[in-house]
Amino acid sequence: MNVLPQGHPPFKVGKLGVLLINLGTPEGTSYWPMRRYLKEFLSDRRVIEVNPVLWWVLLNGIILSTRPKKSGHAYEQIWNREKNESPLKTITRSQAEKLAARLADLPNVIVDWGMRYGLPPTAERIQALKDQGCDRILLFPLYPQYSASTTATALDKAYDALKTMRWQPAIRTVPPYFDNPAHIEALALSLDAHLKTLDWEPDVILASFHGLPKDYFMAGDPYHCQCMKTARLLAERLKLPREKLQVVFQSRFGKAEWLQPYAQQTVEELPSKGVKKLLMITPGFASDCVETLEEVAIGLKETFEEAGGEKFSVVPCLNDSEPSIAMLDAIVRNELKGWV
């Protein structure tokens, strides 16, 4: 207990914070909520590394006039109507709550969650942890594979918040966990469990990761290598032959070359190569979102079936499942060593 002299400003110390940071989500599917979200996201110089003057004109002209409607339609397909929010927000909140329960034996640890874009903002949650007495905070970007456009920008936002604080907490960051044994095990358990629910055997399993412009890779971004290693370790863990589990990259936009092979093109071509039963897994996403629930589970399913495919299924992201929370628990406990 702190005994303070008369007139001393009150403060709390002695707690440890764990902040899960996810990408973010619009607050609604209509034009203006989508526009606000897309403007924040697409104004990020970590995400769009093109001439800023030219991009400002394109963004505030064509893109923000047309894309909110298209993106809003995609979100509408997967929206959590019960809570009136996107699944990403529902799942991230649940991950934090379940992780907190798993860490109940560490009474000084407080778990919270925030978003890089949208609500709740990262800065607000860092301040909330500090107000509760957290003088040490572990930042956990929920991206297994590192990229400047995901992990780095999430941490940038946290550091921006720290710049405004007179009394900063000590900070640690969770490193990319693409090859962490706990992560590979959670993916393996998830894939194996899903296979057991099917009454058919997939001809091919596609591991689909979010795309990245090739220029970013050539500039030194390690994302591609880490995606490939995740897929290789998962295949080895399940004893799958190399040709059984293949890697593709999704969510490409614009005219620039991105990491290949492209998911859309690959899925469209597979039936002509004799692949009639396809299973997809998305090991780069910690929780289901518009890219997995709409782009893959709806869009790529339609592509596959229209091209002649017969059976299609998608393994859910790790989300707030037991293997996922066990993984988060193992990673957090390791990173808190010396603090607890």
Which residues carry a binding-site annotation for Fe(2+)? 210, 291
How far CA 225 is from CA of 25, 147, 178, 230, in Å, comes to 27, 11, 10, 9
Among candidates 256, 260, 255, which has minimal Cα distance to 208? 260
Please name the residues in contact with 245: beta carbons below 8 A apart, sequence gap of 6 or more: 204, 205, 206, 207, 231, 234, 235, 238
Decide: 75 and 26 in contact? Cβ < 8 Å. yes
Buried b (16+ CB within 10 A) or exposed e, 169-205: bebbbbebbbebebbbbbbbbbbeeebeeeeeebbbb
CA distance 114 to 112: 7
Distance spanning both ends of the chain, measured CA to CA: 18
Tokens of 283: 């090991």
Report the length, in residues, of the chain.
Answer: 340
Strands of the 277-281 sheet, one edge to the other? 245-250, 204-210, 277-281, 311-314
Q: What angle do CA 127, 21, 137 make, to 5 degrees?
A: 45
List the binding residues.
Answer: 210, 291
